[in-house]
Structure 1
Amino acid sequence: MLTKRTRDALRILQCLAEKRKSSVVLQGRMICHDGYFVLRCLESGGFVRLHNNEYPRLLSSWELCRDIQSINLYEVLLALGDGIRPVADDEQEMWVYDCYGSGIAAQKLGVANTMLHQLLSEIPACNLLLV
């Protein structure tokens, strides 16, 4: 349900919160365009900041501006300009639980997926044509 960009942003926030500057998950990726773009989006959203003009492509040059517990998924999605990608069937929804575990967050994503499926299936595409 969450895009790769959103998952990367959440990993970055988690690593900064845990002070894991050389995380295997992120090592070598921070110099790529996507990782840098995500950091800049998180900076624009007020989640992270660069230490005194240090090298912006190194994760160790960044710090959280807010407590990780105060950051929610909705805010991260807005900062990234990202959305949620609904999954089509039960098998794909099980993938959500495989990725995010069986905790409250995964359950809420499952409910959101079901609600999105229901709501969006009731909107005829012809009603969305732009004038």
Structure 2
Amino acid sequence: MFKDKQLNNSFSCLYFSSLAALSLILALLLFKPAPLYILDEVDAALDLSHTQNIGQLIKHHFQHSQFLIVSLKDGMFNNANVLFKTKFQDGVSTVTRHVPLRMAGSKQASDENRVPDQDKQRRKVR
């Protein structure tokens, strides 16, 4: 039981540390904006609710910047303008570009995404 409590405290500490660090990073980004940000699994220790909130915050407060975010959570995917999905199978890596349905009908999406057969375009790397 003592180990379970320690493990739970470790996860809790990681969760709040991640949230505090991400809040500080986003506050600094608001202070001094840049055109491009690359974030790698910044939401890994966060729950779905906080991940969605971070995704919405990025989408609404940083409209003049581009974000390349590596994430495994739906909360980030739901706020993305464009998704690039990667898959490794039989020694071949594929990257597929997807535009979420809510964006597909908008003028902004059609102007940004004028790639022929955008959902079928794949790049194979060996």
TM-score by length of 1: 0.26
Name which structure has the greater RCO, CA cutoff 8 Å, separation 6+: 1
- As a proportion of its length, which structure holds more helix? 1
TM-score by length of 2: 0.27
- As a proportion of its length, which structure holds more strand? 2
